[in-house]
Structures are given as structure tokens and as C-alpha cells.
């Protein structure tokens, strides 16, 4: 781990500030009794625990490969983002439950002025925090930080919605706007959670990264080094800050292993440089004339899936 890790610092700041924001929102709920304020504070409770899990996930993702995890620990990022999305959906369901309960039992709202001041303070804190964490995540290409920043910014919208509801109630006396805003907030944060879950599932399923794919193919379409004639069977996946690339290279016949290795290593460096992430490049070297004949030995080797079906 770097001595000064900006993503680590951003996530730790997010955890501490989230605790302060949560305190303000819970205080606003107890002061006003607003269902919308309860919805906002519930979302922040979930957010706090989600940030705690995100921080843990980030620390774990930095661990190097070991005897049990030969590919490192970066895929925990996908689980971390997915868990955050799932927790937010639970918060949305909880908000709907309390909103319906308020409709049945009746709505009583007090001390709206003080409550609005506290919620506005929480919103401004989260606006500054979310912008900072999101910017840090994008700069350092950390999806953990990006998802956390986006989640923090949803807090700004939820707090803004609650303040809006309280203002309308203050001037019109229409208490049911409190319920309407609660349900709207539940729908909004659930949609944000769905996007996080989608990212997580796509990553777990090794869905092709369009940016990485474009960078790799653009490099392979350039003039190939030395005696490399062609390439095929390209596949790749991106996990955290690392892209794993596999492909077959076809070489001119009658060259030495040393020459082939030198050409392949040069292409390997070019591919890594083309990626925004770190890169692990695995190449299978093949002679041009004997390519098809040599591959006959692999036919039927796998019991269920042929080699071509993987690529």
C-alpha cells in the first residue's frame, strides 16, 4: 500500500463525516417527527454501515496475492459495491414501510424550522463530501470510491427532498406531502442501488469492459513487433485496478525461441501501456505453418466445453 493513498484517505474521511451527518439527521427526526425526516435518517444509517463495509473492502482489495488467492483480492470491490447496493434497497423498503405506517396512524410534525436547519447542514456536509470522494474515485479509477461518492450524493437529494416537504407543509399545512416525498425518495435511492447492483453483477460475470477492449484492440491493430504475423483467441477481464489479458500470437516459422520471446515481451509492454489499469498479459505462441496441426492434440481435451467456446 502506498504511504499516502488518496482513495484510502477519502474513504476514511467519508466514514467519519457520515457519522456526523447521521447524527444531524437523527436529531432532525426526533425534533420534527416527520416521516420524510425518518426516511432520510434511515437512509443515512444504512449509508454509514455501507461505508464501513466499503472501507473494509478497500483494505482487503489492497492485499497482494497469496497461497489461497493467486489472483489477488481486488474482486472484493465487486462484492463491496454489490453489498452497498443491496443495503440501499433494504433502506428503500424500510422507508416505504414507515411512510405507509404514518398514513395509517396519522402525521404529526413539530419544530420544522430547527429540523430544516439541521437537514440543510447535513446536506451541505454530504455535498462537499460526496463531490470530494467521487472526484477522488474518478481520478484514481477506483469503483469503490466512485460508488461511495455517488451514494453520498444521494443523501444530498434525500435531505433536499425532506426540506422541500417541510417548507410546503409550513406554508400549506398539507401534511400528506410528507408521505409523498418519502415514497419518492425511496424510489430514487432504490434506482441508484439498482445501478450499483448491476455494476457488481456485471463484474462478477466478467462482462467485457468496453474501454479496455477498445484500448487492447487498437494496440493489436497497429504494426506488430518483429516476427509476429497475427493474433487470435483474445479475451480479457478487468478486476479492480488490474486487467487480465489472454491471447494467441502467430509467428513466422523458423525463428528462435529467444526471438519469439523478445517480440512477445515487446507487445506485452505495449498492451500494458495502452491500458488505464495495471495489466497481466498471458500469451500463447504459435508457428504459422504448424498452427492447425499442433492444435489437433487439444481437440476433445475438455470434457464439456471446447477451447474455441471460451474465446
What structural domains and CATH numbers belong to the chain? Answer: 6-204 (1.20.1510.10), 210-310 (3.30.70.1350)
Most confident of 48-62, 70-84, 149-163, 276-290: 276-290
Handedness of CA 262, 268, 269, 270 (dihedral sign): positive
pLDDT of residue 3: 47
For position 61, what pLDDT does the model report? 82
229-238, 253-262, 302-311: range with lowest mean pLDDT: 302-311
Specify the range with the lowest mean pLDDT, choosing from 90-94, 112-116, 146-150.
Answer: 112-116
Partnered with residue 237 across adjacent β-strands are 244
As a whole number, mean pLDDT of residues 260-288 equals: 94
Backbone φ and ψ for 252, nearest 5 degrees, come out as -60, 150
Instruction: Name the residue among 150, 130, 149, 165 with its Cα closest to residue 28.
Output: 165
CA atoms of 208 and 57, how far apart (whole Å): 23
pLDDT value at residue 181: 78
Distance from C-alpha of 117 to C-alpha of 115, rounded to nearest angstrom:
5
Q: What is the mean pLDDT of residues 30-58?
A: 73
Q: How far is residue 265's CA from residue 171's CA, in Å, rounded to a whole number?
A: 71
Residue with cell 479475451: 235
Q: What pLDDT shows up at residue 244?
A: 94
Indicate the pTM of the whole model: 0.72
- Specify whether the CB–CB gap between 205 and 26 falls below 8 A: no
Sign of the alpha-carbon dihedral angle for 190, 126, 77, 49:
negative
What would the mean pLDDT of 222-241 be, rounded to a whole number?
A: 92
Model confidence at 1, pLDDT cuts 50, 70, 90, reads very low
Phi-psi sector, 292: left (phi>0), alpha (psi -120 to 50), beta: alpha
Answer yes or no: is pLDDT of 246 > 80. yes
What SS3 string covers 171-198? Answer: HHCCCCHHHHHHHHHHHHHHHHHHHHHH
27-41, 55-69, 150-164, 293-307: least confidently modelled range: 27-41
What is the C-alpha to C-alpha distance for residues 6 and 230, in angstroms, rounded to an integer? Answer: 41
CB-count exposure of residue 198 (10 Å: 0-12, 13-18, 19+)? middle
pLDDT of amino acid 43? 67
Model confidence at 39, in pLDDT bands (50, 70, 90)?
low
**Which of 47, 197, 50 lies closest to 126, judged by CA?**
47
pLDDT for 35 equals: 63
Long-range pairs for 207-213 at CB < 8 Å and ≥24 separation? 208/236, 208/237, 209/236, 209/237, 209/238, 209/243, 211/276, 212/236, 212/238, 212/243, 212/275, 212/276, 212/277
Q: Read off the pLDDT of each residue in 212-216 and give the average, rounded to a whole number.
A: 95
pLDDT of residue 186: 81
Average pLDDT over residues 123-133: 89
Is it the case that residue 109 has pLDDT exceeding 90?
no
Per-residue model confidence (pLDDT) at position 37: 67
CA atoms of 75 and 203, how far apart (whole Å):
8
Residue-wise pLDDT tens digits, 167-190: 887 777 777 777 787 788 788 878
Task: Say yes or no to pLDDT of 211 above 80.
Answer: yes
H/E segment holding residue 228: strand 228-239
Amino acid at each position: 500500500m502506498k504511504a499516502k493513498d488518496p482513495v484510502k484517505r477519502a474513504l476514511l474521511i467519508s466514514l467519519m463525516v457520515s457519522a456526523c451527518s447521521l447524527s444531524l439527521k437523527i436529531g432532525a427526526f426526533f425534533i420534527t417527527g416527520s416521516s420524510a425526516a425518518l426516511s432520510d435518517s434511515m437512509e443515512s444509517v444504512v449509508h454509514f454501515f455501507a461505508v464501513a463495509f466499503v472501507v473494509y473492502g478497500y483494505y482487503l482489495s489492497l492485499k497482494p496475492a497469496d497461497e489461497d488467492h493467486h489472483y489477488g483480492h481486488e474482486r472484493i470491490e465487486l462484492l463491496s459495491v454489490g453489498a452497498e447496493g443491496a443495503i440501499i434497497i433494504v433502506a428503500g423498503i424500510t422507508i416505504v414501510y414507515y411512510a405507509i405506517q404514518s398514513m395509517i396512524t396519522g402525521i404529526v410534525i413539530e419544530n420544522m424550522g430547527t429540523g430544516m436547519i439541521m437537514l440543510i447542514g447535513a446536506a451541505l456536509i454530504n455535498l462537499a463530501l460526496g463531490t470530494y470522494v467521487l472526484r477522488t474515485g474518478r481520478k484514481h479509477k477506483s469503483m469503490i470510491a466512485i460508488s461511495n461518492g455517488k451514494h453520498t450524493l444521494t443523501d444530498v437529494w434525500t435531505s433536499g427532498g425532506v426540506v422541500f416537504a417541510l417548507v410546503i407543509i409550513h406554508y400549506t399545512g398539507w401534511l400528506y406531502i410528507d408521505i409523498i416525498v418519502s415514497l419518492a425518495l425511496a424510489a430514487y435511492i432504490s434506482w441508484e442501488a439498482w445501478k450499483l447492483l448491476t455494476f457488481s453483477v456485471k463484474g462478477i460475470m466478467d462482462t467485457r469492459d468496453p474501454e479496455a477492449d477498445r484500448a487492447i484492440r487498437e494496440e493489436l491493430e497497429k504494426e506488430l513487433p518483429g516476427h509476429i504475423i497475427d493474433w487470435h483467441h483474445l479475451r480479457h477481464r478487468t478486476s479492480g485496478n488490474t486487467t487480465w489479458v489472454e491471447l494467441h500470437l502467430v509467428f513466422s516459422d523458423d525463428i528462435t525461441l529467444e526471438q519469439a520471446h523478445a517480440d512477445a515481451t515487446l507487445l506485452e509492454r505495449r498492451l500494458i501501456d495502452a491500458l488505464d489499469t495495471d495489466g497481466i498479459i498471458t500469451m500463447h505462441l504459435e508457428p504459422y505453418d504448424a498452427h492447425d496441426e499442433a492444435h489437433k492434440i487439444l481437440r476433445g481435451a475438455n470434457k464439456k466445453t471446447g477451447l474455441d467456446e471460451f474465446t
